[in-house]
Amino acid sequence: MSKQKDYYNKSTQPAIDEWVKTYDQLWNSIWKPTFEAIGNGSRDVFTAYDNMKSLKEGYRALTLKDSVPVEGLSKEQQKTIKEAMRDLTYAAASRQIAAEKAMKMFDTSHLKWIK
């Protein structure tokens, strides 16, 4: 096995996998169950708002964790990995925005229910 391939398999790929795992876990453990619960009436908007705040913070943290080890790769491979991580970071930022919009929606709908 080449040094670069070995480096990628031992250092780069596990870091990418961990990033993607967190990205998916946040969505599956917070967004999906919150909207399912709101849909069937088993969750109040206060809890839903707090869940979206946690989701927003989780994705914000993920956008700050956008670097993976690439030192043992060629310049071309480093560039490709860095571009991919930029795209993944953009995806996390988009989900952060979705959480912010959901927070606003829950906050607004709560105000309508009080009146």
Quick: pLDDT tens for 30-52: 999 999 998 888 878 899 999 99
pLDDT in tens, 9-35: 999 999 999 999 999 999 999 999 999
What average pLDDT is seen over the chain?
A: 92
pLDDT of residue 115: 40
Q: Give the rounded distance of the alpha carbon of 99 from its chain centre.
A: 10
Mean pLDDT, range 93-103, rounded to an integer: 97
**Overall average pLDDT of the 64-82 stretch:** 93
Q: Give the Å distances, CA to CA, from 30 to 11, 54, 84, 93, 97.
A: 29, 8, 25, 16, 15
pLDDT at 36: 93
pTM here? 0.88
According to DSSP H, which parts of the chain are helical? 3-7, 13-26, 32-40, 45-64, 75-114
Residue 68: strand, helix, or coil: coil
pLDDT at 66: 67
